[in-house]
Amino acid sequence: MKKMINHAEQVVEEMLQGVVLAHPQYVKRVEGFNVLVRANSPVAGKVGLVSGGGSGHEPSHAGYVGKGMLDGAVAGAVFTSPTPDQVYEAVRAVDGGKGVLLVIKNYTGDVMNFEMAAEMAEAEGIQVAKVVVNDDVAVENSTWTTGRRGIAGTVFVHKIAGAKAETGASLAEVQQVAEKVIANVRSMGMALSPCVVPAAGKPSFTLAENEVEIGMGIHGEPGTHRETIRSADETTAHLVEKILNDLPLSAGDEVAVMVNGLGGTPPMELYIINRKVTELLGEKEIVIAKTFVGNYMTSLEMAGFSVTVLKLDAELKALLLAPADTPAWVQY
């Protein structure tokens, strides 16, 4: 194992220190906790948004803290849910008087710990609402999940719910638009190689030299099957077919597309994949309103990618394209 770290048990702490040092205009740390919040938190008169999960998915989630997206991000240990007290401190730090929405990826530990934190905050008089993202069409249940997993589609929830909150909308209205995104977003991914969790010191799974895993989760959970590696076009076509079988779309519908790298896939390959995604949607006369290509939700150094398709209406499109200013969100 080769990693550019100092001590395996200090990777999250030292990463958070580095994030704050790089982006002090965007984020500050809640002292004593693995929580980063907007530099101007709490923002009075605005619904706060908090998300998070295990570390190792950078730039998710701290990279999306800033105007127009998240107000707070909670970092658990690598691939491990943050504890309820960490989430609770994030809620307290971002509450500007209009309540806080928790955006939770559908993993058993995340759901349980975020819900416990919500109860703690509500007992203190803070109004809290929750949404659970479950965009992965690959498998219904997985190693750490009852129901579908939450993967890169979560970033679209951050963006659109965050834009809604910036308008001064109520907590119920922000929750409603987040639920609309969740109902209309689907994703699926694949892996060419595993990653190494620093504390484990060995790959999370093994693949033969000519083998890939289709439907792999962002923590190395099993997918639908393993197969001999095929071309980028063939693999992309399989993922897009699975997505479109689950997300009813008609000619003329508008969508946003995200081709997300898992950490070890070069931009060259992601753009080759995007070329095929665009071709496949074009054949069905589906209109792509906006495309995002890059590393949005990674799995350490895992090689692979996911495709996300979000069906848009006028409201979702306007909020997706609304300005945002965070360390990792590039607004083209």
Phi, psi of 196 (to 5 degrees): -120, 115
- Whole-number pLDDT of residue 145: 65
In sequence order, what DSSP letters do the residues of 255-268 get, joined into one string?
EEEEEEE-BSS-HH
Residue with tokens 């995340």: 110
∠ Cα 120 125 130 (to 5°): 60
Q: Is 275 exposed, middle or buried (0-12, 13-18, 19+ CB in 10 A)?
A: middle
| pLDDT of amino acid 142 | 64
Ranges of the chain whose pLDDT falls below 50: none
**Catalytic residue check, 219:** yes
Are residues 178 and 157 in contact, defined by beta-carbon separation less than 8 angstroms? yes
Q: Which domains does the chain have, with CATH numbers?
A: 8-183 (3.40.50.10440), 185-320 (3.30.1180.20)
Alpha-carbon distances of 43 from 61, 97, 191, rounded to whole Å:
19, 9, 40
Active-site option among 57, 158, 225, 238: 57
Residues with Cβ within 8 Å of residue 234, at least 6 apart in sequence: none
Residue among 7, 158, 219, 225 flagged as catalytic: 219
Query: Residue 302's pLDDT is what?
Result: 96
Catalytic residue check, 23: no
Give the pair of three-digit tokens for residue 190.
């694949």
